[in-house]
Amino acid sequence: MTGPVTTECIEITAPGEAGVLQLTTRALPAPGSDEVVIAVDTAGVNRPDVLQRQGLYPPPPGVTDIPGLEVSGTIIAVGDQALRWAPGDQVCALLAGGGYARCALAHQDLCLPVPEGVSLQAAAALPETAFTVWFNLVERGGLRRGDIVLVHGGSSGIGTLAIQLARALGATVYATAGSDAKCRACEALGASRCFNYRTEDFTVLKTLAGRGADIIIDIVGGDYIPRNIKVAAPKGRIISLAFLRGSRVEVDLMPMMLKQLVLTGATLRSQPVAEKARLAAALAGNLWPLIAAGQVRPVIHRVLPLAQAAEAHRIMESSSHIGKLLLDCRNGKEESE
């Protein structure tokens, strides 16, 4: 392997509050035969990173404990069998961990070219979000033209992409968010109506749309679960991606039976590499052209230096952001404006 054998990175010194994230230097393992080494330009910050920091979402066996599930950057070294890429190629990549670093390892099949019209920095906002949304909204949700889609947490990274993708594929989209400003942002991205959950009941969607939602993307859980069942259309699909209000709730499942609903959920991190590689190919063939055409774009809230990862986590936990939070991992660079 050519390139660095150590890298600055963010480690979780102990489970806890955001302050446990500290900049350190670690040895960088040599890439496996099917891996590449990426000089990281930018890393995405995601809710699973926060859960890992809190000790609630440990990395899979054999995966680094350095947080970070998506990066963009330049390949600087490749494994013996990593023939798809060469040093100098600019990519964005899905990781199982290790993204909060100056350099990171990625499987060659989970790297994607930077989409046309997207900067290298902005491309870091795509992998974890795009894989998750495509897998759950399109594949598991079976999105079809003419569907009514309800996206909870519409101003989140997941939500902003889901709204745009569903709209681009011919769905009518509704969303929920926590402020009037966030609701207007969701509507600007293509939502027909966004409900401020602090002042409105999203179940009025059934009256506004003339029927319930065919697909519900839920990152909230808790008391949203029975309301999701109420607002779902017959044979609707309710897909849980996270449980910000908790995963335990008492609910009457009789409406689920009567309406023949599907209640499901999935995590991306634990999927086999082969399954993620299949998703990467689907994104390259289907979503990347929509991005190049300007129909879908990453929404960036703020970019902070790698050393300020703790502040990025605080912002995420405050839910004050609209779109993605990113970390600038270029050595010696200041915060992007």
Q: Model confidence over 211-223: pLDDT tens digits?
A: 999 999 999 999 9
**Tokens standing for residue 119:** 């900067």
- 129-167 per-position pLDDT tens digit: 999 999 999 999 999 999 999 999 999 999 999 999 999
Mean pLDDT score, 285-296? 98
Rounded to an integer, what distance in angstroms lies between the CA atom of residue 199 and that of residue 197? 5
pLDDT of res. 31: 95
pLDDT of res. 267: 87
Where residue 166 falls (left for φ over 0; alpha for ψ -120 to 50; beta otherwise) is alpha
Question: Which regions of 20-164 does DSSP assign to beta strands (E)?
Answer: 21-27, 35-45, 70-78, 90-94, 103-107, 111-113, 148-151
Mean pLDDT score, 236-255? 92
Rounded to an integer, what distance in angstroms lies between the CA atom of residue 40 and that of residue 121? 10
- For residue 75, the cross-strand partners are 38
**Tokens standing for residue 243:** 């449980």
Give 237's contacts (C-beta < 8 A, 6+ positions apart). Answer: 140, 141, 142, 214, 215, 216, 261, 262, 264
Helix (H) / strand (E) element for 173: namely strand 172-177
Rounded to an integer, what distance in angstroms lies between the CA atom of residue 156 and that of residue 107? 27
Are 121 and 72 a contacting pair, CB within 8 Å? yes
Q: Give the domains, in start order, of the chain with CATH numbers.
A: 6-126+273-328 (3.90.180.10), 130-265 (3.40.50.720)
pLDDT of res. 332: 61
Q: If 0-12 CB within 10 Å is exposed, 13-18 middle and 19+ buried, where does residue 285 land?
A: exposed
Three-class SS state of 187: helix
- For residue 44, the cross-strand partners are 326
Rounded to an integer, what distance in angstroms lies between the CA atom of residue 176 and that of residue 165? 16
DSSP state of 190: T
Q: What percent of the chain has pLDDT over 90?
A: 91
Q: What percent of the chain has pLDDT over 70?
A: 97
φ and ψ at 39, to 5 degrees? -75, 105
Q: Give the type of residue at 12.
A: I
pTM of the model: 0.94
Three-class SS state of 248: coil
| Residue in the block written with tokens 């060469």 | 86
